[in-house]
Amino acid sequence: STDLQIMIDAVSVSVPQLVVALATFVSSFATMIYLDWLLTLTLVLVAPVVSLAVSNFQRLISASTHQAQQRIADLTANLSEVIGGQRVVKSFGREQYEVERFRRRNEDFFGAYMKLTQFIQTQPLVISTIMVAAVVVIMWLSVREVLVGRLDTGRVFMYWGLLVNLMNPMNRVAAFFGDISKAVVGAGRVFELLDLPIEVRDRGDAVAMPAVRGRIDYVNVTFRYRSDDPPALRDVNARIEAGEVVALVGPSGAGKTTLVNMVPRFYEVTEGMLCVDGVDVRHARLSDLRAAIAIVPQDVALFRTTILENIRYGRIGATDAEVRAAATEANVDEYVRTFPAGYATEVGERGVRLSGGERQRIAIARAVLRDPRILILDEATSALDSHSESLIEEALDRLLPGRTTLIIAHRLSTIRRAHRVLFVEGGRIIEVGSHEELLARGGAYARLHAAQFSLP
């Protein structure tokens, strides 16, 4: 925002001032040539010196602006980070540590900004000094011209008035170059963001998918985050039928989240093919594909607005009655009605005023309202109280039937609800079957189950 404000100021303030300064300069300079071109030629000889000074200052101002803008970006990022994680800061008693860290960043910004201000303020002083020296020389020459009778006194006084009048537009032009230097640096930072490549976009021959059924096929899928990274997924093959509920289970870092994030094309397949209803997702129209998908993430993202608007985010344009119906399906309507403002209750930054279970149920209500063909559910690893867990299970019982569902499962109750379990380890699917079948085999899934779920 600071970069944009600098650009706005350069266009809305500095440019009009430059136009006025140039008009004043041109009219004064033209009149001076008319009065005495020889004296004016002396002034022209000073121009290269002024240009050199301006050029050097622009270089210094540009470098200092870049440094100051980077410092303010670091400062605001640090501030945003601390405000967002204030509970962690308080729980670990790190208030003084964060105050000190902010103080250091603030001092870095202050030092960089003062250096920039120093250059900006020194530039007109240096240029004025050069111009004053030139004016003194021209005045001395003009007095000589009067003494030898080549100029009359009236013309000399008029010339001096124009000469003094020339100082202000010269300083304004020099200041404009300083403003432009700052704006160019700000624009560079803005365009760096704008020029970042869009990783996923529709192809020219993208296939429309107006009625997605929900069958998903992984065909020899390999994925790398970067070309020189080892594969996060390798040679994955799986078919998930439309309407099937599949639980993805495995140790942390096995590739479960990567596997589901490829369906809405958050990541692109490196090798192989991922198809929805037989269409390679890379060839599908992105808007159609994502319109058929709803995601309930592990870390539920709620916006700083009302409960009503957070649920309505699932389908913009839904009526209040439809939002309440979705909330009822998600077992959150009764809870919302306990607030004095009801659905108009503000949830705070990232839903900070709600508990984890409440945020999850609102996210489920959002998914219900979307009415997707494909549901992706990343269960929260944090423990919920038994009441919240039972409410979420009831909501899922209503939401899952008839939808292709991929669940990154952490609860035994969810795993048992799935038609099949895909056990993922080391970026591969190494076991497939129902919960009971995999337990009977006594393989990797059975060992993980014994370690995580078996009662003593």
Contact 281, 361 (CB under 8 A): no
Q: How many whole angstroms separate alpha carbon 168 and alpha carbon 24?
A: 9
182-213: per-residue pLDDT in tens? 666 666 656 665 555 556 777 778 888 888 89
pLDDT of 217: 95
pLDDT of 415: 82
Residue type, 262: M
Contact 331, 391 (CB under 8 A): yes
Nearest one of 118, 129, 105 to 60, comparing CA atoms: 118
Query: How long is the chain?
Result: 456
Structure-token pair, residue 84: 């967002």
78-129: per-residue pLDDT in tens? 777 777 677 667 766 778 888 888 888 889 888 888 888 888 778 777 877 7
Q: How many whole angstroms separate alpha carbon 260 and alpha carbon 71?
A: 38
Q: What is the dihedral of CA 187, 188, 193, 195, to 10 degrees?
A: 110
Burial class (CB in 10 A: 0-12, 13-18, 19+), 442: exposed
pLDDT of 166: 74
- Domains, the chain, ordered by start: 2-194 (1.20.1560.10), 216-452 (3.40.50.300)
Residue type, 319: T
pLDDT of 456: 43
- DSSP sequence for 25-66: HHHHHHHHHHH-HHHHHHHHHHHHHHHHHHHHHHHHHHHHHH
Q: Which position has the token pair 């960089």?
A: 112
What is the maximum span of the chain, computed from C-alpha positions, in angstroms? 118
Residue 221's pLDDT band, with cuts at 50, 70 and 90, is very high
Q: How many whole angstroms separate alpha carbon 376 and alpha carbon 296?
A: 6
To the question of pTM greater than 0.75 for the whole model, the response is: no
Which one has a higher pLDDT value, 123 or 176? 123
> Which strands form 245-249's sheet, in the order they lie side by side?
293-296, 374-378, 404-408, 245-249, 420-425, 428-433
Q: How many whole angstroms separate alpha carbon 359 and alpha carbon 90?
A: 22
On average, the pLDDT of the chain sits at: 81
Contact 260, 406 (CB under 8 A): yes
Residue 299's pLDDT band, with cuts at 50, 70 and 90, is confident
Range of weakest confidence among 221-230, 325-334, 342-351, 428-437: 342-351
Structure-token pair, residue 289: 């594909």
Helix (H, G, I), strand (E, B) or coil at 397: helix
pLDDT of 178: 62
pLDDT of 119: 82
Which one has a higher pLDDT value, 382 or 97? 97
Burial class (CB in 10 A: 0-12, 13-18, 19+), 168: middle
pLDDT of 5: 61
Q: How many whole angstroms separate alpha carbon 168 and alpha carbon 362?
A: 62
pLDDT of 250: 86
Structure-token pair, residue 337: 């009605």
- Mean pLDDT, residues 230-244 taken together: 92
Residue 11's pLDDT band, with cuts at 50, 70 and 90, is low
Q: Which position has the token pair 């105050």?
A: 99
pLDDT winner (highest mean) among 16-25, 131-140, 313-322:
313-322
Nearest one of 448, 41, 60, 27 to 256, comparing CA atoms: 448
Structure-token pair, residue 235: 């040679």
Percent of the chain with pLDDT over 90: 16
Locate the DSSP E strands across 289-410.
293-296, 374-378, 404-408
pLDDT of 352: 76
